[in-house]
Chain A
Amino acid sequence: MATVTMTVNGKSVSGEVEGRTLLSDFVRNNLNLTGTHIGCDTSQCGACVVHVNGKAVKSCTMFALEAEGSSVTTIEGMANPDGSLGTVQQAFQDNHGLQCGFCTPGMVMSAAALLEENPNPTETEIREYLEGNICRCTGYHNIVKSIQAAAAAA
């Protein structure tokens, strides 16, 4: 066991982990931030996407210890300071960009990272960027629409 310390959603946190503990498990189990989801065991689905130092990362591909000293944002950290839904989150609600909600945290985190890189993406750019996020419910139609709306609102 080793101690890992990082900033998560603006708060400094630390915890005891094994070398093999994944960042996704640390966030879910040690921090009880269960918005980050686990949809696969082959790093394919993107349900676990968080931001590490501003970059979208599949948290199941990273050991918790590798995030030592990093600044991590999870879906729980995406709301406005007053607690209302942030721009991307609100766009998903407005455009029915989610159904069961399981892929949604990863989708929102990927979408936010995309808009950071490319504030006005085309439909094709959005679809290509989401290549690593699987949604089984929405057929992606309304996810794309949500991201376009978020881009327009920003």
Chain B
Amino acid sequence: MSDKGIGASSKRREDVRFLSGNGKYTDDINVRGQKYVYFLRSDLAHGKINGIDTGEAASMPGVTGIFTGEDFAEVGGLPCGWQVTDRFGEAMKEPAHPVLAQGKVRHVGDPIAAVVADSLEQARDAAEAINVDMEELPAVIDMKSAVAGGTLVHDELETNLCYDWGFVEENKEAVDEAIKNAHHVTTLELVNNRLIPNAMEPRVAIGDYDASNDESTLYTTSQNPHVIRLLMGAFVLQIPEHKLRVVAPDVGGGFGSKIFHYAEEAFCTLAARKLRVPVKWTASRSEAFISDAHGRDHVTKIELALDGNGMFQAIRTDTYANMGAYLSTFSTSVPTWLHGTLMAGNYKTPLIYVNVKAVFTNTVPVDAYRGAGRPEATFQLERVIDKAARELGMDPIEIRRKNFIQKDEFPYATPVALEYDTGDYVATMDKLQEIADLDGFEARASESRKKGLLRGLGINCYIEACGIAPSNLVGMLGARAGLYESATVRVNATGSITVMTGCHSHGQGHETTFPQVIADMIGISEDQVHIQHGDTSNTPMGMGTYGSRSIAVGGAAMVRATEKIIAKAKKIAAHLMEASAEDIELKDGSFSVVGTDKSVGWGDVCLTAYVPHNYPLDQLEPGLEETAFYDPANFTFPAGAYACEVEVDPETGKVDICSFAATDDFGNVINPMVVDGQVHGGIAQGVGQALREHAVYNEDGQLVSGTYMDYSMPRADDLPSFVVDHSCQTPCTHNPLGVKGCGEAGAIGSPPAVVNAVLDALNKGGYNVSHIDMPLSPSRVWSAING
């Protein structure tokens, strides 16, 4: 392992400010003269607004302005960034998504009005004095009843079905036929439980307007400030980019929930323009529960057809995917292109057909949450494989190994449109068996038995498509934007470097890891390189950070820009040494003429670029600054194998995670320490989904688990230490760093491992239970045992 540059566990430089209390998060920003915003939100899941009387509220102390849907009638609604075409060639149903409710409220938390006042307390008091004449309508919560008809979330759509998507539609008949004639078919119906992302920093938006030059600034908790500028500027408020600056400073976690363009951002930006004062909104946690996009929420039936040897022959799935009340930014792509395309997993199943019905309900919009579609695909596939193994009396590891795509079969085209570039699933499984000490399982199980506990082992494999995304391809699939990334590398006169990137770090450590790459390429020290991100005014247009794309796409752009820098610097060095640029070699921060002892340092070349007294002005421009845009040729395909061991107490149904081991193939790794951390965090979120977390709506559409009292976040004493390994590396073949991305793996790979482990424990303990829906709470496990 190297001690600097690529492959080094360099300590994170950003930690110094975070650890000393000097991080600058959005709520830490206060703009002189700012007013405070309080949103009056619907406490009904569905209702018709007959009238809003703001008269009394407007006269209350400190109130600067009150806004309702009417005030936003002339601006655009919040756009959806991905259009899905259904099985019949029709465009998805796309309802309006107003900034403030117009005519109707459609979920608990839907903003009805907003008060701007001198203090938050005054804004809240005034909001309470707003009189809303509302007629309660029946709420549509259950997806299957929503599709069946009756109450409509959006009357004008005449249906609650957003789309009925088939993939690959041409395969449908062949899949039906294969399943009809199969030796064995394993069927599983399951729920992928609805989650709330819960980044620890609640969302914040501050709008500011400078009338002297007609410029708006939005400070916001975002993973992608450029995307917000584009969506809000072009589609909602019609403010051109050069008059709109979006700043996302330090952001306290995102996990997908801070990708989307939210109503509060548009509100604060427009209110600041209208009122000519800065306005600030900070979500309370309770508000976050009903206004941040939720995740998952699929109801699925999956069928796996196998031959007599346990070889997979066909897969057919039927999924209902909850969209909530409106289409959030990426919502429509999650159950389709981020889910259906992953149904091959790590296996050679020749025939696959995926059907997804996306459904409107009176709940908070659902969108990408760590893994986004890939956890849903992995969960159903890996659960049905485990069930099939049990039905056929096969070992769960053996059945997987038998069906793996083999190392020499890459690149491998799946029947669901992806081409995996590299992988070695046998190697990751071998490694897992070693690091998880699977041979020692029986001995550990007998120790558990002595304590009256049932021990189980859960195995799981996953693949994900990351590094999103090839713009051409996603354009054909319905994306309304390109998904390239860009970087500007500015070499300063004395040789230090500033990199400006459209990616955004909200925990990933870019300020440390990106410099590792540049330091390696040039041979200077990492602390000579500074990363600038999070502000549209001083970074090039980029699509932001999600989908494990930063190093694979943003890092690749940075490499391309640095290559341009090096090429130009070589020309300058050649001039200084009176040699030809082709003969110049850059090593350890020094340029030399091959085959001679002539050399010139990095610093001298940089200074020459900026003080061009001795410079080939007739051939080269002075200066040393380059920009590159990188559009990936394909997705990247991280993959791995996970093992979880649990103890189940049959008396109470309580599940304890005894150990968790993960082997991941992320291709090349820039900073192993940071990568380990990403996997740890992902596993914790996946274990949370498997055992604890659940956003529960009652039939009236009230969010029952709306605080940390009811929504059970995993805490330190719920989890073990993890064993993680990423030494199996099959580098990506189509990006310059050979990296695949590591941000989502843990959250994708862990839920099925946990559930498989619990079912293994129960079945080995003599309880014939074929499935329990997540979260596997003590009461659900107990009921399954005693059912």
Contacts and interface: CB of A to CB of B under 8 A. Distances in A.
B681 A136 contact: yes
A65 B174 CA distance: 73
A94 B9 CA distance: 10
Interface in B163-212: 198-202
Contact of A105 (B21, B674, B677, B684): B21
A131 B715 contact: yes
Interface in A95-154: 96, 98-105, 108, 123-124, 126-128, 130-131, 133-145
Contacts of B494: none
Given A85-B19, A104-B18, A141 B722 contact: yes
Most buried by B among A36, A78, A135: A135
Contacts of B285: 39-42, 45
A38 interface: yes
A127 B684 CA distance: 14
Contacts of A101: 14-15, 17-19, 23, 250, 252, 507
Given A33-B21, A37-B25, A133-B716, A96 B252 contact: no
A98 B15 CA distance: 7
B703 to A, nearest CB: 14
Contacts of A103: 200, 252
Contacts of A126: 716
A123 B720 CA distance: 9
A39 B21 contact: no
A94 B13 CA distance: 11
Contact of B12 (A45, A93, A144): A93
Contact of B507 (A89, A99, A134, A140): A99
A23 interface: no
Contacts of A39: 200-202, 285
Contacts of A16: none
A33 to B, nearest CB: 7
Contacts of B506: 100
A70 interface: no
B252 to A, nearest CB: 3
Contacts of A36: 21
A30 interface: no
B708 interface: yes
Contact of A130 (B16, B508, B716): B716
A47 B709 CA distance: 16
A136 B285 CA distance: 14
A96 B507 CA distance: 11
A128 B673 CA distance: 25
A139 B708 contact: no
A26 interface: no
Interface in A59-87: 74-76, 78-79, 85
Contacts of A143: 716
A14 interface: no
Contacts of B200: 37, 39, 45, 47, 100, 102-103, 134-137
Interface string A23-52: 000001000011111111110110100000
Contacts of A75: 19-21
B614 interface: no
Interface in B308-356: none
Interface in B49-83: none
Contacts of B709: 42, 44
B162 to A, nearest CB: 29
Contact of A138 (B252, B680, B708, B713): B680
Contacts of A133: 715-716
A128 B707 CA distance: 21
Contacts of B708: 40, 42, 44-45, 134
Interface in B703-756: 707-709, 713-717, 719, 721-722, 746
B122 interface: no
Given A134-B708, A134-B715, A140-B719, A108 B25 contact: no
A4 B167 CA distance: 65
B121 to A, nearest CB: 8
Contacts of A92: 15, 19
A44 B716 CA distance: 13
B22 to A, nearest CB: 7
A141 B252 contact: no
Interface in B674-691: 674, 676-677, 680-685
Interface string B251-265: 111010000000000
Given A34-B21, A96-B677, A138-B677, A41 B715 contact: no
B11 interface: yes
Most buried by A among B286, B673, B708: B708
Contacts of B680: 138-142
Contacts of B20: 35, 75-76, 78-79, 85, 89
Given A41-B285, A102-B201, A139 B722 contact: yes
A128 B199 contact: no
Contacts of B719: 127, 139-141
B135 interface: no
Contacts of B12: 93, 96
Given A40-B285, A130-B717, A102 B707 contact: no
B765 interface: no
Contacts of B284: 41
B253 to A, nearest CB: 4
Interface string B575-612: 00000000000000000000000000000000000000
B717 A128 contact: yes
Given A75-B20, A139-B684, A140-B684, A100 B252 contact: yes
B645 interface: no
Given A39-B201, A127-B716, A137 B21 contact: no
Contacts of A96: 11-12, 673-674, 676-677
Nearest to B679: A139
B136 interface: no
Contacts of A76: 20-22
Nearest to A35: B21
B28 interface: yes
B32 to A, nearest CB: 14
B255 A136 contact: yes
A28 B25 CA distance: 12
Given A100-B507, A101-B23, A139 B683 contact: yes
Interface string B24-38: 110110000000000
Contacts of A74: 21
Contacts of A136: 198-200, 253, 255, 681, 685, 713
A133 B717 CA distance: 11
A35 B24 CA distance: 9
A36 B685 CA distance: 24
Contact of A144 (B685, B714, B721): B721
Nearest to B674: A96
A83 B139 CA distance: 57
B509 interface: yes
Given A47-B200, A131-B716, A136-B685, A41 B286 contact: yes
Contact of A93 (B11, B198, B681, B684): B11
Nearest to B18: A101
B23 A131 contact: no
Contacts of A137: 200, 253, 507, 677, 681
A76 B20 CA distance: 6
Q: Which 6 interchain pairs have the tightest Cβ spacing?
A: A35-B21, A102-B252, A101-B18, A139-B684, A100-B507, A99-B507
Given A98-B18, A102-B253, 12 more contacts: A34-B21, A38-B27, A42-B285, A44-B708, A45-B708, A96-B674, A99-B508, A100-B251, A104-B19, A136-B685, A140-B680, A145-B721
16 contacts: A35-B23, A39-B285, A42-B708, A74-B21, A76-B20, A92-B19, A98-B19, A99-B253, A128-B716, A130-B716, A135-B200, A139-B680, A139-B719, A140-B684, A142-B680, A144-B716
